[in-house]
Structure 1
Amino acid sequence: MVIELESPVEKSKMVEFLSQVFIPINDRFSSIIITDEKGVQRWKKVEISIEDHIFFPTFPSSVQTLEDYDSLLDTYVSKIAMEPTSEGLRPPWEVHGFMYPTSNAKGTVVFKLSHAIGDGYSLMSALFTIYKREDDPSLPVTLPEFKPRPIGGGGLTRWSRMRSFVSMWVNTIRDSGLSLLQATLLEDDKTVIRSGKVGVEFEPISISSVTFSLDQIRHIQDKVGGTTVTEVMTGVISYAIQLYVQRTGQVSNGAARMTALVVVNARMLRGFKSIAEMLKAHIWGNHFSLLHVALPSTSCEDLNNFDPLEFIIKARDELRRKRNSLSLYFTSRIWNIISSIKGREVAAGYVHAIFKNTSISISSLIGPSQKMVIADHPISSFYYTVAGVPQSLIFTIVSYMGVIHFRLAVLARPCQLEMDIYIYTLG
């Protein structure tokens, strides 16, 4: 996670914050992964030295402009994102304090957290727990609620309920089978957004960004009706990819298979939960699942006369069909069964194969509505990205104080996709 601050980073405050606030929130922040005599991996609590986990990079004094520091920060974040964490030697997390001003902040703090500690929901909930509200530190942070706009009214008839039940099981069988095939035999086509190259997760990456307001999302919701933020953003991404494909001249003509993996929280609890609540319910750690969403495509000629909102509608319908399914539960159970029989590394390989055989992944998070403070440093904005995923294009989306921060992790080459997204949302 990259946190942009309204004041310069103070070393002493960051060190004190990590030792007295951050580490105590969960034992995993002071534990390492070991393998016992039975070959079972488990967490072992160890003595921890803050100096081994916090870094303050320095750069030549010849660097003077904010644009130069922007470039240095982007390069630095991309570099540390690709470096492996020292699992087994010390707890797998690091904090980097960028003590130089950029165009967006007076200082920047980067949390690098291993997925072994927990999934995005666990880690973000942990950080939200220790952040303080600037207006009143005694109050907890609150998250905005986004509910689908109703498409129609009226209750379901008995026949409709029966049809919905049958549809749910048909979708479950179809989607669960697709997940198994995607990890074994089924693979997306090689396109301008998917190289299919072995070891792509070890290639240098570049992080691009787009920022816009939640009002723009609400404006699109008003036009379409009955959509969630995730549905809108998936549709936006689908349309932007088609614009990018057209720009590069590699038009799919509707024939190329392109699949997005939408990362979803598989926990039964809804909304933000504190660390104590997650630990009590035994839902700390990795409890996520994946929705396989076919990206709608069209030919270059059709795209010129195509209503972009149709991409939103298609994404909405596809995601709702996927949610009217128990495949998320069965897929999660399959992972657990593989892990218990074959071990965690085999289960991780199964998940790795699913990502490798698909085109893109989308991860989103609703952030706090109020301005937050970390170690007495007011936070102007923050975003996160995921590294080590065998894909050439990864989308992460987070909201904060009514603003959407949209990040693209791409292979380190020029990419105009973020401009296509921006053009669409403004339109």
Structure 2
Amino acid sequence: MAAIPALNPLKIRTNYTNGETIEGFKKGDIDHEQPLSPMSRLFHEPGSNVYIVGIIGLKTKIQPDIFKHNLVHTFLKNHRFSSLQVTNKQNGSMKWIPTHVNIDDHVFVAQIDPNMESSDKFVEDFISNLSRSPIESTKPLWDLHILDLKTSEAEGTCVFRFHHSLGDGVSLMNLLLSCTRKASDPKALPTLPGSIKKSGAADVSSFWSRFGVLWNSFVALVMFVSTILFLEDTKTPMKGSKGVEHRPRRFVIKNVSLDDIKLVKTAMNVTINDVVVGVTQAGFYRYLHRRYCEGDTENTNIPDNIRLRSTLFFNLRATTKIEDVTDTSRHGTWGNKIGYALHPFKIGPRKDPLDYVRDAKAVMDRKKASLEPLFTYFFANLVLKLFGMKVAGKLNHKVFYNTTLWFSNVPGPQEEISFFGHEVAYIAPSCYGQPNALMIHVVSYVDKLTFVISADEETIPNPHELCHDLEESLRIIKASVCSSGIMSKY
């Protein structure tokens, strides 16, 4: 394959004042600059300076030149990936300024230690080290790290890193998946289950359903305001301390059987999301029980009535269909269009393990029958307009810090896919920079479901044990389904 020609990189100051000439651009070029949206600007505020990490395991050896060639024709056609974010010193505003991109400044091939003890540990340490430093603002805020190293799950690993101001997880996941094709049909885009959804919609066909939506929304509003003002989660071994957003993270991946999740879903007549949340709730209790008992399995000091909540994110777009997203103006695909709800986890023992799933379904049904995600989205925008970026950033940080974790669950491709001609073994998105010690992101791919844990090791020094607790909780819940006899009804 012919070598990729190097593009001239642009050296540009990251601050400018009105009337200044930007190095490397003609005067007319500056007319094409665009301001960052308020939500994108918010992700540069202290406590909200978040990065999205996309880990992709591949089944074949990685060819870096093929990745570079294809990135030029995909990512770089999107102006967010070929523009700098430049700050105006006078008023603090930020604008997208187009720049000349040298692809070699964004794609890095990791140096492999030939004497490593474990390839899995090497990859894990490498990704953790990425969370120790930001991407320099002298170039577009994304990069790709290629680890051409065989692990227990893949023949090679790609790690994409994006600043959250480029877009939310749905935007960036769609961008990545638009670069993939079905392994069975190299010309076809992959498909996602439930490609059309009604964001924030609830069944309001009767008076009582309308009343239920209004009541659930009112309760959510009270809890949201209380969380801003004073309501903080219980100090548990999973709750981060102040400054946790500045500490490095450990990223751990655990794959489980999607068929096991579907078996429980069908038997209990619930959703996949209900099962995932129920398994997570059971896993949290197992983990906290072990941390509190400190080796004494007979006596535990785990507190009663633990308040442990997650910030549960919702996509507010009307569709999740994968399409060409190089054009950032199409269909509202781009931006940070996500709302969130505060989801409580009930931490405690259950005589029947299936009660974890039943409890999760009851809470999720209330969240679906409310306008909480829409409210939080519009509230953030309202505060931005009325009080400015600093106030919005502080309130955002207060809500996140007063809860215990971030939680996100999204469906992935239903069939095997290839990324720039490389067959994909797994997909594992996550984040770092948030003011919580823990994030759990759950994504499905073909016949597996992947739990991706992003943990502050100072708070959670053993994230692998938490992974084991999630896996064991699924095993126990599945076994309870199989032994209960409810499967015979279906």
TM-score, normalised to structure 1's length?
0.89
- Residue pairs, 1:199-278, within 5 angstroms: 199-225=243-269, 227-248=270-291, 249=293, 251-267=301-317, 269-274=318-323, 275=325
In the TM superposition, what is the alpha-carbon distance from 1:321 to its structure 2 partner?
0.8
SS of the aligned residue for 1:329 comes to: helix
In the TM superposition, what is the alpha-carbon distance from 1:114 to its structure 2 partner?
0.9
SS of the aligned residue for 1:384 comes to: strand
Question: Which of 410, 415, 420 matches 1:375?
Answer: 420
Distance 1:167 1:335, change over 3 A: same
Show the counterpart of 2:31: none
Q: In 2, distance between residues paired with 1:265 and 1:47?
A: 32
Is the 1:338–1:347 contact (alpha carbons within 8 Å) kept by the matching residues of 2? Answer: yes
SS of the aligned residue for 1:103 comes to: coil
Q: In 1, distance between residues paired with 2:91 and 2:249?
A: 38
Are residues 1:319 and 2:369 paired? no
Structure 1, gaps ≥5 residues long: 148-155
Q: In 2, distance between residues paired with 1:265 and 1:143?
A: 14
Show the counterpart of 1:192: 237
1:79-132 deviation line (CA, Å, top 9, x unaligned): 103321223x21100100112222222211110011010000000011111112
SS of the aligned residue for 1:177 comes to: helix
Are residues 1:91 and 2:140 paired? yes
Larger radius of gyration: 2
Amino acid at match of 2:101: I
Amino acid at match of 2:85: I
Q: In 2, distance between residues paired with 1:90 and 1:180?
A: 38
Q: In 1, distance between residues paired with 2:344 and 2:195?
A: 24
Q: In 2, distance between residues paired with 1:270 and 1:198?
A: 37
In the TM superposition, what is the alpha-carbon distance from 1:3 to its structure 2 partner?
0.9
Point out 4+ residue stretches in structure 1 off by more than 6 angstroms.
none
Question: Which of 107, 114, 124 matches 2:163?
Answer: 114
Show the counterpart of 2:462: 414
Number of equivalent positions? 405
Amino acid at match of 1:53: H
Are residues 1:82 and 2:111 paired? no
Show the counterpart of 1:290: 340
SS of the aligned residue for 2:221 comes to: helix
Is the 1:182–1:357 contact (alpha carbons within 8 Å) kept by the matching residues of 2? Answer: yes
SS of the aligned residue for 2:62 comes to: coil
Amino acid at match of 1:21: T
Is the 2:135–2:142 contact (alpha carbons within 8 Å) kept by the matching residues of 1? Answer: yes
In the TM superposition, what is the alpha-carbon distance from 1:76 to its structure 2 partner?
0.5
Show the counterpart of 1:28: 80
Is the 1:187–1:357 contact (alpha carbons within 8 Å) kept by the matching residues of 2? Answer: yes
Q: In 1, distance between residues paired with 2:440 and 2:215?
A: 30
Show the counterpart of 1:151: none
1:288-342 deviation line (CA, Å, top 9, x unaligned): 11111111122xxxx2x52121111111111111221122222211111122233
CA RMSD in angstroms, aligned pairs only: 2.3
SS of the aligned residue for 1:183 comes to: helix
Structure 2, gaps ≥5 residues long: 1-53, 197-202, 294-299, 477-490
1:28-69 deviation line (CA, Å, top 9, x unaligned): 011122234554322221111111111112133323x6xx11
Show the counterpart of 2:71: 18
Q: In 2, distance between residues paired with 1:323 and 1:106?
A: 40
Is the 1:252–1:297 contact (alpha carbons within 8 Å) kept by the matching residues of 2? Answer: no
Q: In 2, distance between residues paired with 1:171 and 1:81?
A: 38
Distance 1:45 1:341, change over 3 A: farther
Amino acid at match of 1:108: T
SS of the aligned residue for 1:198 comes to: coil
Q: In 2, distance between residues paired with 1:177 and 1:283?
A: 31
Amino acid at match of 2:171: S
Question: Which of 411, 414, 431 matches 1:366?
Answer: 411
1:147-168 deviation line (CA, Å, top 9, x unaligned): 9xxxxxxxx9x9x821221221
Amino acid at match of 2:226: L
1:325-378 deviation line (CA, Å, top 9, x unaligned): 122222211111122233345433322221111011211221111222222211
TM-score, normalised to structure 2's length?
0.78
Is the 1:78–1:205 contact (alpha carbons within 8 Å) kept by the matching residues of 2? Answer: yes
Q: In 2, distance between residues paired with 1:405 and 1:364?
A: 10
Question: Which of 356, 367, 378 matches 2:401?
Answer: 356
Identity %: 25
Q: In 2, distance between residues paired with 1:338 and 1:282?
A: 22
1:264-299 deviation line (CA, Å, top 9, x unaligned): 1122x033242279733334110111111111122x
Q: In 1, distance between residues paired with 2:388 and 2:61?
A: 45
Is the 2:195–2:320 contact (alpha carbons within 8 Å) kept by the matching residues of 1? Answer: no
Is the 1:396–1:408 contact (alpha carbons within 8 Å) kept by the matching residues of 2? Answer: yes
Q: In 1, distance between residues paired with 2:326 and 2:125?
A: 37
